Structure 1
């Protein structure tokens, strides 16, 4: 897709969102069902069922997906799509590219072994290995705008309002 096609695709959406800001607010949803046999959750991805379970560092077999890995995969997916869209808008031809993410977890926190150990990632690093002939200043803008417009990156960077609710299902 080139810049003309991208603009043509997004122009009516941008106009609608400018004139009707409420139309831009979309609630995304995810759903999973608890596995009856194992410590696992069957997550509906829209394409298949992903079985998430314990990471081997917490006693899992490694056969199921780890939620931490899935979070990094979501970051890579979002950052990759955002990078491509921004590169298109900036007219930077990306000849090749790989997006990688890695994060550090201290599983003592998850297992309740040490109160001073955080539950969750204490650091996440995102890498873009690209091949492009653009000048460095344009590539710097590409990175800056990718960070700015990547939904998952910004959600991790600026904590959203978060809530949890438990309800009892009728018998």
Structure 2
């Protein structure tokens, strides 16, 4: 895709985002099912993604990208929620095992709200990235509610992805250029 094609794909999206900011708000979702026999979490994906041999990151349709069901491309926001669900699910299963809580069946869900005005540069004051993420643990267990509450509390504490998102680590960004010849004009 060249710059002209990208601008043509994004122009009809940006216009309503400017005139009706609520049209730029989108909720992305991910879910996973906990194993009853191992410390694993199976992610739920669309058919195109399930059939793909590799995950390919691309623009979300709300930013001018193709339909993921057709292209198999995933928005990085979808991938972030998948990582959160996977990590939280595995962490919950590990903590449940350590606490001797039997989980017969469980589902982990995460959904996050994005304002595409920010990522599309439509409104410089609009946030870029998720403005809110919600998680839900639906657990089939005979454990007392107090024990389940402790399980979820410990899952929050030890889930690497959740802690990374919530505590914003120090990040360094560098750029390197390859090719293109000598930068000194020689």
TM-score, L = length of structure 2: 0.65
**How far apart, CA to CA, are the structure 2 residues paired with 1:50 and 1:144?**
31
**How far apart, CA to CA, are the structure 2 residues paired with 1:116 and 1:89?**
45
User: What SS is found at the alignment partner of 1:104?
Assistant: strand
**How far apart, CA to CA, are the structure 1 residues paired with 2:139 and 2:178?**
50
Divergent runs of 4+, >3 A: none
Alignment-derived partner of residue 70 in structure 1:
79
Q: CA deviation at 1:170?
A: 3.4
Q: CA deviation at 1:113?
A: 0.4
Correspondence 1:121 to 2:126:
no
Q: Which runs of 5+ in 1 are unaligned?
A: 1-5, 7-47
1:58-106 deviations in whole A, cap 9, x for unaligned? 0101221110000000000000000000000000000100111000000
Correspondence 1:52 to 2:57:
yes
User: What SS is found at the alignment partner of 1:49?
Assistant: coil
**How far apart, CA to CA, are the structure 1 residues paired with 2:62 and 2:167?**
28
Alignment-derived partner of residue 61 in structure 1:
66
**How far apart, CA to CA, are the structure 1 residues paired with 2:86 and 2:149?**
20
Alignment-derived partner of residue 132 in structure 1:
141
Alignment-derived partner of residue 99 in structure 2:
90
User: What SS is found at the alignment partner of 2:55?
Assistant: strand
TM-score, L = length of structure 1: 0.71
1:144-169 deviations in whole A, cap 9, x for unaligned? 00000000000011010111111011
Correspondence 1:156 to 2:165:
yes
**Root-mean-square deviation over aligned CA pairs:** 1.8
